[in-house]
Amino acid sequence: MAKRILVVGGGFAGLWSAAAAARARDALGLSGQIAVTLVAPDPFHVIRVRCYEADLAPLAVPLDDVLGPVDVDRIEGTVTGIDAVARRLVVQPRGGPGPFTLAYDRLILAPGSVLTRPQVPGIDAALSIDTLAGARQLARHLDGLGRGAGRDRTGRWTAVVVGGGLVGLELACELPARLAAARDRAGEAGPVRTVLVDRSAEVGSAMGGAAMPAIRQALAAAGVESVVGGVAAVDAAGVTLGDATAIPALTVVCATGMRASPLAGELGVPRDDLGRLPVDALMRVIGVPAVFAAGDVAVADADDAGHRTVMSCQHARPMGRFAGHNAVCDLAERPDLCRPFAAPDYVTVLDLGEWGAVYTAGWDRERLMAEGAAAKAIKRTINGSRIYPPLSRDRAAILAAAAPIIQARPATAA
């Protein structure tokens, strides 16, 4: 009977864990001896980092187009429990009968992360772009602003984004144009307003000092208002700030950060402040035999200087590749072929709407590599092709892309 590697999650870490496991299995000549199965609630791999964009059509990549050609099985369902002692998962199939169990010889946990909403009255009703479903809901909401009960209400063409991190900044820079387009479709006139609220001393300061001049310019160019401070309440009329200022707004979007999937808690080991599982250089969960983890649900040393992985596709993709490769080598009892993960080079490319983008390097984002149109061209390459798997269904291309290596940083123009 073939041994089984189960991969939980169809995001960046999950997809690449499964593809890398298929690659290592083939390289070791174990195709008939090791089965690789991916369990995910949806049939699509979502390019989640693009959920702030207006055009959502390119974001859903059929998992079967990537995993089918490399002989990875897929189960459409949600994992609701993990028994690490018995090495079994509990899976609730999508649209099916009651849950069933799946046994594994090696498990790769990569269910990603979820939006963390602050304890603010009414915030649970705010929109979000944490998922493709959420991004689609926002798009429908904007399209409907010119119709129905909202037609005569104050704040119809005002949007408030709660949270000034990378997601909040990218969305805020897109919203003025999207609001204006919705207003035009409704045959209306008048100004649109976007307000970005954050608790930092200055909105965008988490991007580091080198990027701040570009962020200020981009927000000003887009007409985005920055408000420093907290949100006290959210309701159907808009937002009330911590100083009791009321902002009438029919569009409120929560972008307040992420936390590892609650499924990480099933393993019963200590986790970090973001709920992530500690993994060693081979992506093995520390203290849990036969379980690997990758992506937003895991935290690993990125270098020898004390830097740790962050919740981003920049780390999730290679973490998945190393996890898949090492899980196969571990199962095949070939420790000599395992490859340790390291990602000492850290960069950030932040989309800033029509103004352009900003590209920084360094763990403190201290070096400005490019800005404006030049950085925007890099961002388009990243979002449009660099982070996508091969879409040709070509087996050799998919396996080659799954090699456990660290991709070089995006190049700037000479």
236 and 276 in a single domain? The answer is: no
* Chosen domain end from 322, 345, 368: 345
Q: Which residues pair with 287 in a beta bridge?
A: none
The answer to whether the beta carbons of residues 341 and 333 sit under 8 Å apart is: no
Which residues, including other chains, have CB under 8 Å from residue 203's CB and lie 6 or more apart? 164, 169, 196, 215, 219, 226, 227, 228
The 10s digit of each residue's pLDDT in 270-279 is 999 999 999 9
The 10s digit of each residue's pLDDT in 20-42 is 999 999 999 999 999 999 999 99
Confidence at residue 151, expressed as pLDDT on a 0 to 100 scale: 61
The 10s digit of each residue's pLDDT in 221-234 is 999 999 998 899 99
The 10s digit of each residue's pLDDT in 175-185 is 999 999 999 99
Average pLDDT value over all residues in the chain? 95
Q: Is residue 369 situated within a structural domain? A: no
Q: Is residue 357 situated within a structural domain? A: no
* Chosen domain end from 238, 254, 270: 254
79 and 187 in a single domain? The answer is: no
Do β-strands 231-235 and 251-254 pair in parallel, antiparallel, or remain unpaired? unpaired
246 and 138 in a single domain? The answer is: yes
How many structural domains is the chain composed of?
Answer: 2
Instruction: Considering only residues 204 and 80, tell me which one the structure prediction assigns the higher pLDDT.
Output: 80
The 10s digit of each residue's pLDDT in 285-322 is 999 999 999 999 999 999 999 999 999 999 999 999 99
Which residues, including other chains, have CB under 8 Å from residue 26's CB and lie 6 or more apart? 70, 399
CATH code for the domain in which residue 23 is found: 3.50.50.60
**Average pLDDT value for residue range 262-267:** 97
31-54 exposure pattern, b = at least 16 Cβ within 10 A, e = fewer? eeebbbbbbbbeeebbbbbbbbbe
**With 80 as the cut, is the pLDDT of residue 414 above it?**
no
Q: Is residue 24 situated within a structural domain? A: yes
211 and 131 in a single domain? The answer is: yes
Q: Which residues pair with 44 in a beta bridge?
A: 62
180 and 151 in a single domain? The answer is: yes
The 10s digit of each residue's pLDDT in 89-114 is 999 999 878 899 999 999 999 999 99
* Chosen domain end from 232, 254, 276: 254
HEC per residue, 207-242: HCCCCHHHHHHHHHHHCEEEEECCEEEEECCEEEEC
**How many other CB atoms are there within 10 angstroms of residue 396's CB atom?**
11
Q: Is residue 248 situated within a structural domain? A: yes
Closest to 112 (Cα-Cα) out of 324, 319, 303, 335: 319
Which amino acid is residue 340, in one-letter code?
P
Domain that holds residue 155: 123-254
What would the DSSP string read from start to end of 83-135?
ETTTTEEEEEETTSSS-EEEE-SEEEE---EEE---S-TTGGGSB--SSHHHH
The 10s digit of each residue's pLDDT in 45-80 is 999 999 999 999 999 999 999 999 999 999 999 999
CA distance 345 to 47: 22
Q: Which helix (H) or strand (E) holds 359?
A: strand 357-361
What pTM was computed for the model? 0.96
222 and 317 in a single domain? The answer is: no
**Average pLDDT value for residue range 242-267:** 96
CA dihedral 164, 371, 12, 196 (to 10 degrees): 10
